[in-house]
Structure 1
Amino acid sequence: MVFSLGNSFRTVPLNQLIDSDILLQPLQPLPEAGISAVVHHLFTESTHPPVYFALAHLWMKLFPSETGLVSISAARSLSTLFGIVSIPAVFGLSYLAFGSLLVSQLAAAMMAVSPFGVFLAQEARHYTLAVLLVIASLCCLVTAVKNIHLQKTLPISVALIWVAVNCLGIATHYFFVLTLGAQGSVLLGQAWRQTSQDIKALLQPHWQRIYTVVVGTSIGCLVWLPALQAIHGSAPTKWIYDGNPRIDWLAPIGRFLLWAISSWLMLPSAVTTIPLAVVIISGIVTLLFLFWTLPSLSSGLKYQQQHPDTRLATQILVEYLLGAIALFFVFTYGLGMDLTLAPRFQFVYFPALIVLLGAALAGCWQAIPIAREEGNSGDRNSDLKPTAKPYKQSGFKPKISLRVRKYRSILQLHPPLSPSPPLHLQPKKIIVIFILLMGLAGGLTINFNLGYLQNHRPDLLAPIIQKASIAPTVIATTHDHHGQTGRMMGLAWEFKRLSASNEEVKERKIAPQFFLAHRDPETRNHNHALKVLQAQLNKLPRPLDLWLVDFRTKVDLKSQQCVADSKYRSSVGGYKYKLYRCS
């Protein structure tokens, strides 16, 4: 939100005690700040490209501020709006790919209730816009591959839109390059299949238009190369390199599976807010539900792969999904950039996964026993004509009018009542309904902050601090970049909200002070900041409560007569905290 306002985190003083008002100053809208300020602060302080933040800047100007601060609802509403638009967008992608209303409706329904989609939509960040651009780019990819199979040249309008969408995608999130890489793997697969049949296939006109798109997209990506080089190894991105996935190689796989499952399934699992027994029960129910539904989803997807009208669309999206996942693990294990550390990065393959899930659900919904059509033992009338040969064997192909075909298909989907064995269609429909209901439950789980996707919940830590501290309070944290500033801003915002809604807190007039202990960029340690903190603590009246929140270095507090309170040494909502009572 700070960058969207055109403000800077660097106005917050470091290595000194500050109150909440000073800490929250970057969240105050400034009338003179424009898009140029947004771009400037992004390039000098952050690692994000500017498109979403420029749009958010214009959007938030439409809403009045709350008590002089930015409107949280306004900041989140733009991301929510993009999330809502992604529902009909997925419907359009599904219909373009499969030409089926059923697939499109089920995919849109899954997008509407997807826990991961709800998680992205409620964050005041740029990921829902990135999802929309991934969907748009996939629409162009599907159109292009279908034209390649028909040996038709891609319309110039589609080619230009594809290039524009790809360039906007990079300007929205740099990891959109993974989308382009996954699309490249799909096109390479198509090229390999065609050249295996005709070595000159890639010289055909319909491929030349694809080359134009590749060149245009490459130019749009190269524009951002200096920015990518500048952020490589910067403080805000170092956390991606934390750990050693080559040694602890199972952890990224486990995280990836959790994020992928959250696309359509999420039960209460926030260990910091709900009892452990509930989390364990949720885990058991999730595993049982997966064992029950995955075979049906697999057979539903196979149904789409075997159907001549949907085989190509299924192939495109499956290859895209596998290509994106492969790139994630190449970056994680090959380059040491663990892209599984944050669930939000999974936006790259999320739309394709949702569309394939819709296709699999549609396959379950409309599954018909093939035995009925082939006249084998599964045909209820096969015993009446034991000597009759199937059409394929006899060579006889009767002409059937369109009206008869229509009625025959209706009878296959809705056969008349008879004592013959059931079609086993109803149980699969029940599975589809249960999956949709579980998706809805997952979306509600995220909405009520009961899932495992949410991180950094200041609304959980602030009440603990207010309840435990009667004396004047200091909250200290180590500081490397604006990420730590933002987390302290979240706490300060919660304290203001609690004091405004709680008369008892107002009467106590407890306004915590904050200390951001900045790491010296030259010495790469916090020694100077710790000396300043100790000196400032000596000047404060006693009794005093000192909270160390996400404090990632050792500090000697005995000289300040500060003793740790063992009751308040834990973690909650993504924050680690320790309380020291100073006398």
Structure 2
Amino acid sequence: MPFIYPEEARHYALPMLIVMLGLWALIKIQQDWQQGQINPLVWVGWAACQTIGLYTHYFCLMATVGQIGALLLWQWWQHPAKPRPTKMFWVPVAFVLSTIGFTYRPWVATLISHVTRPETDWMKPFEPNILTLLAPLWQLPIGWLSMIAAFPVEGQPIWLVIPTAILIIGFGGWIIQQADRGLRLLWLDASSRDGVMILAVFLGIVLIEFFSIIFVLGKDISQVPRYNFIYYPAICLLLGAGLDRQARQTKLAITATPLFF
């Protein structure tokens, strides 16, 4: 989990749940489209998730942009043999966009005023220099590692902190390696490739938004690991899918290996 203290988990549980439901609806939309179907209830539920999320936490705006962007890019990426975007696709997309815009319009002015308030200046470095400029490049990966394993090292003696940090990095690297192998196998499978792509594109768009906030707006949100909650569900889905596929591949290889006594 991208949280250090229990109160953080309680505070971000609802917006993270909304992001999870939005991703589930997004995958369902993708699966229905592949079968030439449209489920109005899923589209309405997806639009509701985006609207509720925007009123729950401002960062859900990044998730909304990421999900819509992932869906549109997936459609344009489709193989020539598959159906291209048609009226059947654009009508529900227009419905979702108009619903989000209409329901969130009353709050846009408040959003802009909150973004420019001086209370957010604590995310700016007090003494800007090359180190503070590059800090996000290692602060973000540290936050990603904490999603996999986070042992209590705060306030511990150095002889305990160093081996614990090495253990976390080693375990995290192994998990990522195994998940990467599994995701490569899923990518080779036509039945799972589209789902992997949508989640990966969503994750990529949100990370681009993160870096834009950090380096363009000058607000270093990478120093707050809990803000990673916005793409934590996608990380879990990709890691879980990759690890499961790799585990099945390993089990299959073991079963196929002859035993000699």
TM tier, shorter chain? Answer: 0.7 to 0.9
How many Å separate the matches in 2 of 1:228 and 1:293? 38
How many Å separate the matches in 2 of 1:367 and 1:124? 34
How many Å separate the matches in 1 of 2:75 and 2:180? 27
How many Å separate the matches in 2 of 1:178 and 1:149? 26
Q: Report deviation, 1:213.
A: 0.9
Sort the Cα spacing of 1:208 and 1:227 in 2 relative to 1 into closer, same or farther, 3 A: same
Higher-Rg structure is: 1
Counterpart in the other structure of 1:129:
14
Counterpart in the other structure of 2:139:
255
Q: Report deviation, 1:246.
A: 7.6
Counterpart in the other structure of 2:46:
162
**Superposed CA offset, 1:74-133 (max 9, x none):** xxxxxxxxxxxxxxxxxxxxxxxxxxxxxxxxxxxxxxxxx436x465437531101000
How many Å separate the matches in 2 of 1:343 and 1:156? 36
Q: Report deviation, 1:316.
A: 1.3
Q: Is the 8 A contact 1:152 1:206 kept in 2?
A: no
How many Å separate the matches in 2 of 1:290 and 1:261? 6
Counterpart in the other structure of 1:509:
none
Sort the Cα spacing of 1:247 and 1:333 in 2 relative to 1 into closer, same or farther, 3 A: farther
Match of 2:166 among 266, 272, 284: 284
DSSP 3-state at the match of 2:93: helix
DSSP 3-state at the match of 2:148: coil
Match of 2:94 among 191, 207, 211: 211
Sort the Cα spacing of 1:291 and 1:160 in 2 relative to 1 into closer, same or farther, 3 A: closer
Q: Is the 8 A contact 1:120 1:128 kept in 2?
A: no
Aligned: 1:181 with 2:65: yes
Aligned: 1:342 with 2:224: yes
How many Å separate the matches in 2 of 1:231 and 1:294? 37
Counterpart in the other structure of 1:304:
186
Q: Is the 8 A contact 1:245 1:332 kept in 2?
A: no
Q: Which consecutive unaligned segments of at least 5 residues does structure 1 have?
A: 1-114, 370-410, 421-583
Q: Report deviation, 1:296.
A: 2.1
Q: Report deviation, 1:303.
A: 1.6
| Structure with greater strand percent | 1
Counterpart in the other structure of 2:113:
230
Q: Is the 8 A contact 1:121 1:128 kept in 2?
A: no
How many Å separate the matches in 1 of 2:130 and 2:212? 11
Sort the Cα spacing of 1:294 and 1:140 in 2 relative to 1 into closer, same or farther, 3 A: closer
Aligned: 1:356 with 2:242: no
Match of 1:274 among 146, 150, 156: 156
TM-score, L = length of structure 2: 0.87
Counterparts in 2 of 1:350-389, with a 5 A limit? 350-367=232-249
Counterpart in the other structure of 2:74:
190
DSSP 3-state at the match of 1:138: helix
Q: Report deviation, 1:193.
A: 2.1
How many Å separate the matches in 1 of 2:243 and 2:43? 32
In structure 2, give the amino acid aligned to 1:342: V
How many Å separate the matches in 1 of 2:137 and 2:211? 9
TM-score, L = length of structure 1: 0.41
Counterpart in the other structure of 1:116:
2
**Superposed CA offset, 1:321-354 (max 9, x none):** 1111111011111221222121111111001101
Q: Is the 8 A contact 1:268 1:278 kept in 2?
A: no
Q: Which consecutive unaligned segments of at least 5 residues does structure 2 have?
A: none
Match of 2:260 among 419, 435, 451: 419
How many Å separate the matches in 2 of 1:262 and 1:137? 24
Sort the Cα spacing of 1:345 and 1:124 in 2 relative to 1 into closer, same or farther, 3 A: closer
How many Å separate the matches in 2 of 1:176 and 1:170? 5
Sort the Cα spacing of 1:337 and 1:219 in 2 relative to 1 into closer, same or farther, 3 A: farther
Aligned: 1:329 with 2:211: yes
Q: Is the 8 A contact 1:126 1:172 kept in 2?
A: no
How many Å separate the matches in 2 of 1:256 and 1:217? 30
Counterpart in the other structure of 2:29:
144
Match of 1:320 among 189, 202, 226: 202
The structure showing larger relative contact order (alpha-carbon pairs under 8 Å, at least 6 residues apart) is 2
Sort the Cα spacing of 1:148 and 1:245 in 2 relative to 1 into closer, same or farther, 3 A: farther
**Superposed CA offset, 1:407-461 (max 9, x none):** xxxx8774485329xxxxxxxxxxxxxxxxxxxxxxxxxxxxxxxxxxxxxxxxx
Percent sequence identity over aligned pairs: 24
Q: Is the 8 A contact 2:2 2:228 kept in 1?
A: no
Q: Is the 8 A contact 1:246 1:333 kept in 2?
A: no
How many Å separate the matches in 2 of 1:246 and 1:202? 46
Q: Is the 8 A contact 1:179 1:349 kept in 2?
A: yes
DSSP 3-state at the match of 1:248: helix
Q: Is the 8 A contact 2:176 2:239 kept in 1?
A: no
How many Å separate the matches in 2 of 1:142 and 1:190? 11
How many Å separate the matches in 1 of 2:7 and 2:156? 21
Counterparts in 2 of 1:387-406, with a 5 A limit? none
Q: Report deviation, 1:232.
A: 2.7
How many Å separate the matches in 2 of 1:223 and 1:251? 36
How many Å separate the matches in 2 of 1:284 and 1:227? 45
